[in-house]
Chain A
């Protein structure tokens, strides 16, 4: 009997062993290797030469690093506000059985189905200053002076790229909130109505608190999505003009694979990892707490 129990206890670990080994080889191993690389100078061919913290010293003196960091933070801030508010707003509006609500849901979610690369390509054309739809529309309605070189003006290029990400993110947030709204207890809402709460009060005091778990997920996903932003920048501007729209992931890619400074690229990756880690730990803690509670 005892033997069987030990085996029963062992079985899950054996099953775990395979994914753990794979995870160690393909995720943890490269991660540690990246940490090591960040302390070296390596062009991708020759043996990496250990240089201590030289890469980090150089990084903290590199203006492109700060531009990229600020751009990432801008991305985070925008993602924490506009898509969340808009997504929730649309979800509230469509969470009723009004005719056509399914069509609208599908429309808002549709951009999410497209890969970021496709979004980037399509929007690059919309943004084209001479032949693009946006400037074309502005010309047609007589707002010529609002025309811009959306992706070439260093002052607005970052916002132009983020706008595309927002366009895509809104539908995603909407779907998450729509799912969350299913678990809102209608009895509480009705009770609040009977007690004389108007719709604004009902929303802020009854519905929103019940959506809190969804909101946490949405916020964390938004932060992580904005930190790993790469595809849109890479497709639409490659970080240009002159790094105005560079983000950390893109900066890392160009340094490592365009300029062949793998060590320097790894140093950027380490910093990006540290920043992400803060949010990931926060999220995992939260999830763990939920799970023990549930």
Chain B
């Protein structure tokens, strides 16, 4: 009796184990041929409502044009996506196509061999000719293309036209004019600038712009690359002479760290605040009925002798090096880069796009103004957390937040950041 029972347990165990092993193998074996003709996995970080909808629509159109193909589309919250991407890339069956940032943040993965060489797609789609050289360079490492830059946007100071009109304020061009605008708003009981720094990067925009305007884009980008020092007196000057006065005079809203970036928009729409330094994606989260009231201007010039640098981050797509469905992935990527898909994104989201085959005539006034803004720049940076390494960005942005809560600590914070920089860039 006992022996029988024991035996049956062992037999059962063996069966279960073999079955699970066999099951695992069978799945892989049968999954491949079926997958190549059927499915492609696409993970996206377009999680804000408007981009999310547009993204889903693009996928739908792709499926309509390619009957029998199913795109397994997952949208992951933007901040979480940034952290999850390593897990995606190192898993045995990574998502085939993923959204990502052009420039250094893509380069990091390309150097590790995690992003597929898609020179053939560039070749076949004629992108080598239809994309501007700058975007091609942004996607190229050692003569091969790894990235599809698809959309880009500009940064600027956004303002409420009605608030400016109410107090008879003109758009400022220089730093002095800008400070005068702040004073005037403040005197009228309006907080000059709104900002939500819960996720910190909005504060980094202020650093990017102040540093570029005061010390020039070349110095700024060298600092990002670890070639300049954070404890350089020129950096300190940015904090003590330009940034600190804005905070000390109460030009920013109270408790910015309580709000995610979009949660700080209502202060602008209800007239409590006047301006917001933001990327053009602010439009996605701005109330539709108030979009007409939203204007923007170039971040004021501080030193006219310094070349003008602007932030204009480029987003796009890539294929994982270990993609299980490379052929379909390339087809999907080719669609995302096509004039048709880009035209849709440009019209639906107001983004600027990379494919020159998209006719200029489809752009609205805002987009044209944004393009002019970037055309007039001597240098185009990506953004603080895209131009420097992830850990430097993390420590740097913490430093900005600490500075924000106590501007008198600037010197100590920069000394600490310099220690971090020295450590990270010599490793």
A contacts, CB < 8 Å to B: 4, 7-8, 10-11, 14-15, 18, 41, 44-46, 127-131, 149-154, 237-238, 240-243, 254, 257-261
Given contact pairs A240-B200, A241-B402, A45 touches B114 in the complex (Cβ within 8 A): yes
**What is the chain B residue whose CB lies nearest that of A8?**
B2
| Chain A interface main SS type | loop
Residues of B within 8 A of A151 (CB): 257-258
Cβ contact within 8 Å between B200 and A150: no
Residues of B within 8 A of A258 (CB): 82-83, 390, 394
Closest-CB distance, B61 to chain A (whole angstroms): 34
**What is the chain A residue whose CB lies nearest that of B413?**
A242
**What is the chain A residue whose CB lies nearest that of B391?**
A259
Residues of A within 8 A of B13 (CB): 18
Residues of B within 8 A of A127 (CB): 258
Closest-CB distance, B10 to chain A (whole angstroms): 8
Cβ contact within 8 Å between A152 and B86: no
Residues of B within 8 A of A237 (CB): 198
Closest-CB distance, A285 to chain B (whole angstroms): 34
Cβ contact within 8 Å between A129 and B398: no
- Partner pick for A46 among B6, B83, B112, B398, CB 8 A cutoff: B112
Given contact pairs A45-B112, A152-B257, A260-B390, A240 touches B198 in the complex (Cβ within 8 A): yes
B14 within 8 A of A: no
Given contact pairs A254-B394, A259-B394, A240 touches B258 in the complex (Cβ within 8 A): no
| Distance of A260 Cα from B391 Cα, bound (Å) | 8
- Partner pick for A14 among B9, B391, B398, CB 8 A cutoff: B9
Q: Which of B397-424 contact A (CB under 8 A)?
A: 398-399, 401-402, 404-405
| Distance of A45 Cα from B115 Cα, bound (Å) | 13
Residues of A within 8 A of B404 (CB): 241
Cβ contact within 8 Å between A149 and B255: yes
B281 within 8 A of A: no
B256 within 8 A of A: yes
Cβ contact within 8 Å between B405 and A238: no
5 A-B pairs with least C-beta separation: A149-B255, A152-B257, A242-B402, A259-B391, A242-B401
Residues of B within 8 A of A241 (CB): 197, 257, 401-402, 404-405
Residues of B within 8 A of A254 (CB): 394
B267 within 8 A of A: yes
Q: Which of B262-288 contact A (CB under 8 A)?
A: 263, 266-267
Residues of A within 8 A of B266 (CB): 130-131
| Distance of A152 Cα from B260 Cα, bound (Å) | 11
B366 within 8 A of A: no
**What is the chain A residue whose CB lies nearest that of B427?**
A41
* Chain A CB within 10 A, most for which of B9, B257, B390: B257
Residues of B within 8 A of A130 (CB): 255, 258, 266-267
Cβ contact within 8 Å between A11 and B6: yes
| Distance of A151 Cα from B10 Cα, bound (Å) | 57
- Partner pick for B199 among A41, A238, A257, CB 8 A cutoff: A238
- Partner pick for A129 among B86, B197, B255, CB 8 A cutoff: B255
Closest-CB distance, B268 to chain A (whole angstroms): 12
Closest-CB distance, A139 to chain B (whole angstroms): 13
Cβ contact within 8 Å between B3 and A153: no
Closest-CB distance, A211 to chain B (whole angstroms): 41
12 contacts between A and B (CB under 8 A): A7-B2, A41-B427, A44-B90, A128-B258, A129-B254, A129-B255, A149-B258, A152-B255, A237-B198, A240-B198, A241-B404, A242-B399
